[in-house]
């Protein structure tokens, strides 16, 4: 009977050690998740702030629309009518290249811009070039 009690005590010690290990692992994972969540919240804050700056200063709003497309809406292009929207929709084709599907008003230089972004992969320059082209349509 004494051996049985000693065996149970030993089992209890092993189980207690296992529980302690699991608690420590849980605590580490919880801390990792907490750190990742903080980093994600900070990144989301800065992304939202950047989006606000683009919207307020450049008059650029980016929307997700049907068919996994992004719609870029520029305002503040025409000084006579700053609220007038200049819009284009963008998606990725099967070759993972940028493809403009809709553009209002139509820009003749879209194919050239698409080829350039395909070669350089400089997306911000692509957006800037389209904005400049919209501005050129106002002054022409």
* pLDDT value of position 132: 94
What is the per-residue pLDDT across 40-87, written as a single tens digit (0 to 9) for each? 999 999 988 988 888 888 789 999 998 889 999 999 899 999 899 999
Edge-to-edge order in the sheet of strand 60-65? 60-65, 69-74, 86-92, 98-104
Q: Name, in order, each residue with C-beta under 8 angstroms of 59's C-beta and a sequence gap of 6 or more.
A: 74, 75, 76, 77, 82
The CATH number assigned to the domain with range 59-139 reads: 3.30.457.50
Tens-place pLDDT, residues 9-28:
999 999 999 999 999 999 99
The domain spans of the chain are: 1-58, 59-139
Full-model pTM: 0.67
Cα separation, 22 vs 28, whole angstroms: 10
Query: CA 104, 107, 76, 46: dihedral to nearest 10 degrees?
Result: 90
């Amino acid at each position: 009977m004494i051996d049985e009690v000693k065996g149970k005590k030993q089992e209890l010690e092993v189980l207690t050690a296992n529980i302690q290990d699991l608690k420590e692992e849980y605590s580490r994972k919880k801390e990792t998740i907490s750190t990742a969540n903080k980093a994600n919240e900070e990144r989301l804050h800065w992304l939202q702030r950047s989006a606000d700056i683009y919207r307020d200063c450049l008059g650029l709003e980016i929307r997700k629309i049907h068919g996994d497309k992004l719609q870029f809406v520029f305002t503040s292009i025409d000084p006579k009518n700053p609220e007038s929207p200049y819009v284009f929709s963008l998606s990725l084709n099967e070759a993972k290249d940028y493809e403009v599907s809709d553009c209002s008003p139509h820009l003749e230089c879209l194919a050239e811009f698409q080829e350039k972004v395909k070669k350089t992969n400089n997306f911000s320059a692509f957006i800037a070039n389209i904005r400049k082209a919209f501005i050129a349509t106002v002054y022409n």
